[in-house]
Amino acid sequence: MSSEKRKNKCIVICGPTASGKSDLAITLAQELGGEIINADSMQIYKELEILTSRPDRNDLKTVPHKLFGIRKIINPCSVSIWDNLAQKAIENAVSRGCVPIVCGGTGMYIKYLSTKLATVPNIPADVRLMTREKLMKLGNEKFYQELVKLDPQMEGKIPLGDSQRLVRAWEVFEATGKSVFTWQAVTPSKTDLTVCNILLMPDREFLYASCDRRFLGFVDKGALNEAKTIRDLELDPSLPGMKALGLLQLIDYLEGKINLDAAIERAQQKTRNYAKRQMTWFRNQLNSDYTDHSPHTGRHISDILQMVIKFLKA
């Protein structure tokens, strides 16, 4: 298959957490001579390896992986930053005769690949720092009240507990003089990238059980040590990376606020809730070329492979 045929084409494997995306991506990469490009907003952070189920050494030896663990957690990654990195990784893969396989569960990353949303200008570092310091000083409720005074469009739009979105709304208005909603209202345009979206949507009961088992596996692999290392960095809790599933619950355990069983149960519940939200998002927002509802062991690999080869040759 010539690189000319594959120009401006990529495979996307997406779906909720614990749905088996990585396993399928590796299988396809082996069959097609592909490279896996990360589309998970947490797997991009260096410090989050176990808790995000980042590819292990064996996976990395099996097929090339890009954009995994490349940024420090103190250096947030936005949708536009990721998109720039991903587009370059895709172009680089194609130039070397490899099939780019974008894999992850962050819906906005995937949507951004083929739909160019309005790009908010870069926020100056001093504005970012000032905004985070303001949140820490005021607390979420008072910060929200001040935000609504600054940008009345935000009233009732962001939950008080969503520190990340509160900070983002403030810093965008502070830096640009426009509401984040004004930027989002700009009509999106299409990119020249053609994608083949493969959506994994296992049965909910199976998926929830998979989420629970996987988190227990994280604990066995050393997630507590990973959480301790991050806690000891004394990072701003509003940083996006601090929202990694299970991280805050394990930190609560390390600080003696809850016992380990409670931490695990709460982390599992958070994970299931997140998986449910992802399923809703993908169901309503993604135009899937192929949706697989089967569990990992029953995946229709041959059908998927046949469909992908046809897409690449077209």
pLDDT at 120 over 80: no
Residue range 4-15: average pLDDT? 84
Distance of CA 230 to the CA centre of its chain: 19
Report d(CA 71, CA 42) in Å as an integer.
10
pLDDT at 114 over 90: no
**Distant-in-sequence, close-in-space partners of 113: CB < 8 Å, separation ≥ 6:** 10, 12, 83, 86, 102, 191, 193, 195
Mapping DSSP to helix (H, G, I), strand (E, B) and coil, where does residue 199 land? strand
**Distant-in-sequence, close-in-space partners of 137: CB < 8 Å, separation ≥ 6:** none
Mapping DSSP to helix (H, G, I), strand (E, B) and coil, where does residue 101 land? strand
Report d(CA 246, CA 190) in Å as an integer.
36
Strands 115-116 and 189-190: antiparallel
Nearest residue to 195 (alpha-carbon basis) of 277, 282, 103, 119: 103
Give the pLDDT score at 188.
58
What is the second-level CATH architecture of the domain 125-184? Orthogonal Bundle (1.10)
DSSP letter for each residue of 172-197: HHHHHSS-HHHHHTSPPEE-S-EEEE
Sign of the C-alpha dihedral computed for residues 25, 103, 247 and 71 taken in this order? positive
pLDDT at 5 over 70: no
What is the second-level CATH architecture of the domain 3-117+188-313? 3-Layer(aba) Sandwich (3.40)
Mapping DSSP to helix (H, G, I), strand (E, B) and coil, where does residue 297 land? helix
Average pLDDT over the chain, rounded to an integer: 92
The better pLDDT of the pair 136, 1 is held by 136
Report pLDDT digits (tens) over 179-199.
Answer: 988 887 765 555 689 999 999
For the chain, where are the E strands, in sequence order?
9-14, 34-38, 65-66, 99-104, 115-116, 189-190, 194-200, 290-292
Nearest residue to 110 (alpha-carbon basis) of 20, 13, 21: 13
Residue range 120-125: average pLDDT? 82
Quote the tokens at residue 34. Answer: 């592909």
Give the pLDDT score at 121.
74
Looking at residue 298, its amino acid is: G
Give the pLDDT score at 6.
60
Report d(CA 29, CA 25) in Å as an integer.
6
Quote the tokens at residue 113. Answer: 């690949």
The better pLDDT of the pair 119, 305 is held by 305
pLDDT at 275 over 80: yes
Residue range 204-224: average pLDDT? 98
Q: How far is CA 276 from CA 16, 92, 273, in A?
A: 8, 34, 5
Report pLDDT digits (tens) over 128-182.
Answer: 889 999 999 999 999 999 999 999 999 998 988 888 889 999 999 999 999 988 8
Distance of CA 299 to the CA centre of its chain: 23
Domain ranges of the chain: 3-117+188-313, 125-184
Strands 9-14 and 194-200: parallel
Report d(CA 242, CA 108) in Å as an integer.
19
Give the global pTM. 0.83
pLDDT at 105 over 90: yes
Reported as half-sphere exposure (CB side, CA atoms, 13 A), residue 154 has a value of: 25
Q: How confident is the model at residue 229 (pLDDT cuts 50, 70, 90)?
A: very high
pLDDT at 260 over 60: yes
pLDDT at 214 over 80: yes
Give the pLDDT score at 248.
98
In the chain, the percentage of residues whose pLDDT exceeds 70 is: 94
Nearest residue to 244 (alpha-carbon basis) of 28, 77, 89: 77
Q: Provide the 8-state DSSP code for 111.
A: H
Residue range 249-271: average pLDDT? 99
Report d(CA 278, CA 111) in Å as an integer.
13
Q: How confident is the model at residue 116 (pLDDT cuts 50, 70, 90)?
A: low
